[in-house]
Amino acid sequence: MNKRVEKALNDQIKKEASSSQYYLSMASWAESNGLNGTAKFMYTHSDEERFHMLKLFKFVNERGGRAEVPKLEKPPHEFKSLNNVFESLLEHEIGVTVSINNVVDICLQEKDYTTHNFMQWYVSEQLEEEALARTILDKLNLIGTNAGGMYMFDRDMENSLIHVNNENLDTQ
Ligand code: OFO
């Protein structure tokens, strides 16, 4: 595997692993603040990010590279509010999108069209994740500080819109 592409993919493995830790921290905050629906959403989202990490991990090894288990920073532990949680999530996902686009760009520069093709799954996934975070933030902004609305919001998150796709680790 092209060394520059291998390095970019290993950097992305670290980002996906960090995302998983970050959402786990958000789950913990929500659960300890009585927001069980939001906590469930975040646990699921954390699993989804681990799946993103594993999919890259397997791809690197299958293509003759060497996937590395990254050292991770401790994610933020405190959040000011539910809005703050989802604003942080959206901001984080926008950063991940930039990073995915950077991997795609390196693939083109190195003429690695197989990895470029593989990365298109991540490009679509980022579109979905950003759209979902924006929809949730719009809902929260409509609710404002209304306690009843907040209760309903958390209950809706229980049957959340996110779907974990971790049944298939195929890298093809
Ligand atoms: Fe892996 O999509 Fe979010 O970070």
Q: Is 48 near ligand 1, meaning CB less than 6 Å away? A: no
18 within 8 A of 137, measured Cβ to Cβ: no
Query: What is the tally of structural domains in the chain?
Result: 1
pLDDT digits (tens, 9 = 90+) for 118-164: 999 999 999 999 999 999 999 999 998 888 888 889 998 887 654 44
Distance 63 CA to ligand 1 centre (A): 22
Give me the domain span that covers residue 58.
Answer: 3-171
C-beta of 93 in contact with ligand 1 (< 6 A): yes
User: Domain containing 51 — which CATH number?
Assistant: 1.20.1260.10
CB of 16 closer than 6 angstroms to any ligand 1 atom = yes
**In whole angstroms, what is the distance from residue 53 CA to residue 9 CA?**
10
Per-residue pLDDT tens for 89-122? 999 999 999 999 999 999 999 999 999 999 999 9
Residue 125 beta carbon below 6 angstroms from any ligand 1 atom: yes
46 contact partners, CB below 8 Å, separation of at least 6: 20, 21, 23, 24, 27
